[in-house]
A and B are shown apart, each in its own frame.
Chain A
Amino acid sequence: MGRLRKLLIPGVDKKLLVRDAVKTMPELTRRRFITAGTSLGALTLLTGCDVVDSSSAEELLKKVSKFNDAVQAWMFNPDALAPTFPESMITKPFPFNAYYGLDEAPEIAGADWKLEVRGLVDNKKSWTLDELYKLPQVKQVTRHICVEGWSAIGSWTGTPLRDFLNLVGADTHAKYVWFQCADKDGYNSPLDMRTALHPQTQMTFKFGDEILPRAYGFPMKIRVPTKLGFKNPKYVLSMEVTNDYKGGYWEDQGYNSFSGS
């Protein structure tokens, strides 16, 4: 211990130290702190350049993210219902949001559009908008939460996706329903089957009792109130029931695919 103390306070008059540790220590310890501060700064620089951007750190973070998915799946009830709100709480105007401007949003002619159904389903027939509109619809007012942090309450009306999946004879033991969309650069997103079968997950045809406007995904959007906004594809062209993880527009760039709220 004595040797350690000498190492810690080299060159300090011991008498002074004994008489008044407070007076002698500050300068020395301050000097030590500056040294420590310098190395801490160097570490920050390192983490700024070498560690953070290095692929090894990225790989580690992705592993933690996968681990988080597993923990969340184990910890939380996937059938938990998203809170619903009175219509008076609807956010007006409801924000348009995409990785492109509104003028670049897909313009789809409803009469020509057909929903393509592929993969592990009994009936692979494509559906026209008129056919889809005839399916029983429900309205729900829920909160849309964006991965960016903002949120907005909206009113969405449509057919529960699980009813449609049953109707087309989908293999509901498959892992995913994968959606492809008309957004520029080809938006797509996978939805885990459990969430696809969630009672509030909806094939949406109306926003605020009006036919879904172009800004919000005409002719069809998938509304998933238990997931972040980017897991709610708009301008849907096709759905595929599959056991393969096919990735997604944002998922491939690093947003967590679970992204359940």
Chain B
Amino acid sequence: MTSLAVSDHQAETATPAKVIQPVWVRMVHWVNAVAMILMIMSGWQIYNASPLFGFSFSSNITLGGWLGGALLWHFAAMWLLMVNGLIYLALGFATGRFRKKLLPITPAGVISDTKAALTFKLSHDDLSKYNSVQKLLYTGIIVVGVVIVLSGLSMWKPVQLHWLVSLFGGYDIARYVHFTCMALIVAFLVIHVALALLVPKSLRAMIIGR
């Protein structure tokens, strides 16, 4: 009994009370996850109407049934993605989260942490601190997120936002940029989910905060 009481006590103190992921981060994360999946699946259906490359996406993994339906989904989920994304960016800057969590990123740090990760020696003791690989990936995916929205807007409103289209070097290039960003996000998603499975407490932190 005594030992159990002690371990109970230890459990209390050993589990840090500090929140790893604040509630606003968890909320925008999961809203973004839903929005992103809707955007990607409907985007694949839209792609199928006029494929850029020699392949189409299987209808098992697309959303909307046909081009018209997919466009309705894409332009509905767009609101979720945009509003949620703007909240994330605003709070990320306002709370100093971006500065504290994502900076600095040094090439040396990324190289050594990548080596450590590949040899399974990377420490995950303190989930409140991102390692260099995480910093690079998370910062990178934010940039990709901004670019995919901007390229999407320029395809949606090429007359109204013709300056934005010019910035991408033309309407056709904007399409390729949009597709490339999607591919990068999907690649990120695969790695992100795989790593969350390898370090499940990070997933727990994104659900219950600690």
A147 at interface, CB cutoff 8 A: yes
Q: Are B159 and A30 in contact (CB under 8 A)?
A: no
B103 at interface, CB cutoff 8 A: no
* A residues in contact with B125, CB < 8 Å: 22
**Which parts of A17-36 form the interface with B (CB within 8 Å)?**
17-18, 21-22, 25-26, 28-30, 32-33
Whether A29 contacts B157 in the complex (CB less than 8 A), given A52-B63, A64-B76, comes out as no
| Binding stretch for chain A, among B21-29, B67-75, B183-191 | B67-75
* A residues in contact with B3, CB < 8 Å: 15
| A25–B160 alpha-carbon span in the complex (Å) | 52
Q: Are A26 and B199 in contact (CB under 8 A)?
A: yes
Q: Are A149 and B72 in contact (CB under 8 A)?
A: no
- Size class of the A contact interface (CB-based, 8 Å): 35 or more
Q: In the complex, what residue of chain A is closest to B66 when comparing beta carbons?
A: A254
A55 at interface, CB cutoff 8 A: no
What total count of A-B pairs have CB within 8 Å?
120
Q: Are B203 and A261 in contact (CB under 8 A)?
A: no
Q: Are B72 and A64 in contact (CB under 8 A)?
A: yes
| Binding stretch for chain B, among A76-84, A157-165, A207-215 | A76-84
Q: How many Å from the CB of B65 to the closest CB on chain A?
A: 7
**Residue among A18, A47, A143 with most chain B CB within 10 A:** A18
Q: How many Å from the CB of A6 to the closest CB on chain B?
A: 10
* A residues in contact with B63, CB < 8 Å: 47, 52
Q: Are A80 and B160 in contact (CB under 8 A)?
A: yes
B85 at interface, CB cutoff 8 A: no
- Residue-wise interface mask of B (195-210) relative to A, using a CB-CB cutoff of 8 A (1 in contact, 0 not): 0111111011000100
Whether A147 contacts B7 in the complex (CB less than 8 A), given A76-B157, A83-B159, comes out as no
Q: Are B10 and A18 in contact (CB under 8 A)?
A: yes
**Which parts of B136-185 form the interface with A (CB within 8 Å)?**
155-160, 162, 165, 171-172, 175
A129 at interface, CB cutoff 8 A: no
* A residues in contact with B12, CB < 8 Å: 2
Q: Are B65 and A30 in contact (CB under 8 A)?
A: no
11 A-B pairs (CB sep. < 8 Å): A15-B3, A18-B10, A21-B15, A25-B204, A28-B200, A29-B200, A80-B160, A82-B162, A149-B47, A149-B155, A250-B68
Could you list which residues of chain B lie within 8 angstroms of chain A, going by C-beta atoms?
A: 3-4, 7-8, 10-12, 14-15, 46-47, 49-50, 63-69, 71-73, 75-76, 79, 124-125, 155-160, 162, 165, 171-172, 175, 196-201, 203-204, 208
Could you list which residues of chain A lie within 8 angstroms of chain B, going by C-beta atoms?
A: 2, 5, 8, 14-15, 17-18, 21-22, 25-26, 28-30, 32-33, 47, 52-53, 58, 60-62, 64-65, 68, 76-77, 80-83, 143, 145-151, 225-226, 250, 253-256, 260-261
